[in-house]
Amino acid sequence: MQTLSDIHLLALLADDVPNGDLTTQALGIGQQKAHLEFRTRQSMTIAAVEEAVRLFELAGAASNLVAPSGSALLANDLILEANGTAASLHSAWKAAQTLVEWASGIATATATIVLAANGVAVACTRKTVPGTKALSVKAVLSGGGCMHRLGLSETLLVFAEHRIFLSESPGQTIARLRRSQPEKKIVVEVADVAEALIWARAGADVLQLEKFTPQDVTACRLAIDALPDAVHPVLAAAGGVRADNAAAYVAAGADFLVTSAPYTAAPKDVQVNFRLLH
């Protein structure tokens, strides 16, 4: 699984320890040897463990990954361990702990929705906290989700905000996109069943059902299924999809779920244990 580059990780260390660890220096304990463990305080799906291990290595400690990102752990399970001087362990400790806790919150929230979806794909949006996209993507993948779109450059998603600039029929829009981007799926966001039918008949590959209730999704599913077999776009339920309603959207007939909910999940709690080595 992908990891953040050393450039990004060194920036985290520089942000937290720009001029050394004043407390460790003042106490005169920097060269004493110690062992450190990260353990879970609760059940969680963990993420960013590889980055945490590398942070300790960059700080001068030896570190061992015990449970890789994507592992589903129980309370008090061992995540990683490190050996080094007090100075090296203290330099990386909090940055590494925060990274694992924050990313594991996203991964666990994603895994919870994935479980509720019962085999239907769960795709997370690009609405990550600014500056955290690479790690957020890794956390989503660790939780068993996939990415809806990473940005504007690689996917075709036609919003109403695009369509106000057009002076052509939906069929002409779809045909023009097919000619200019023949390898891409054409996704159209729709606000109600009537719009869904218009763009289905026009030839859209995917209909993104924005803020549909499960009942609305069912109505759309029935309407789309009544169209000729050649007109059968994929239905994506988007907007307001969470762990507590994911199953309802699947039962309503959504082909996959689109959500931003994991990005606002609370961080999980990682316990850090130090042991002095003699």
Same domain as 135, residue 103? no
Say if 71 falls within a structural domain.
yes
Range(s) of the domain holding residue 189: 115-264
Number of domains in the chain: 2
> What is the CATH classification number for the domain harbouring 127?
3.20.20.70
Beta-carbon neighbour count of residue 265 at 10 Å? 19
pLDDT of 229 reads 80
Write out the two tokens for 58: 């960059």
Say if 1 falls within a structural domain.
no
Crossing angle of helices 49-58 and 86-117, rounded to 10°: 170
Same domain as 202, residue 133? yes
pLDDT in tens, the chain (278 residues): 667 899 999 999 999 999 999 999 999 999 999 999 999 999 999 999 999 999 999 999 999 999 999 999 999 999 999 999 999 999 999 999 999 999 999 999 999 999 999 999 999 999 999 999 999 999 999 999 999 999 999 999 999 999 999 999 999 999 999 999 999 999 999 999 999 999 999 999 999 999 999 999 999 999 999 998 878 899 999 999 999 999 999 999 999 999 999 999 999 999 999 999 98
> What is the CATH classification number for the domain harbouring 80?
3.90.1170.20
List, in order, residues 6 or more apart from 181 with CB less than 8 Å away.
Answer: 156
Please return the burial class of 271, using the count of CB atoms within 10 Å of its CB with bins 0-12, 13-18 and 19+.
middle
Same domain as 71, residue 153? no
Same domain as 82, residue 175? no
Say if 211 falls within a structural domain.
yes
CA separation for the pair 16, 96 (Å, rounded): 11
Say if 10 falls within a structural domain.
yes
Q: pTM for this one?
A: 0.95
Element (H, E) at 52: helix 49-58
Same domain as 175, residue 85? no
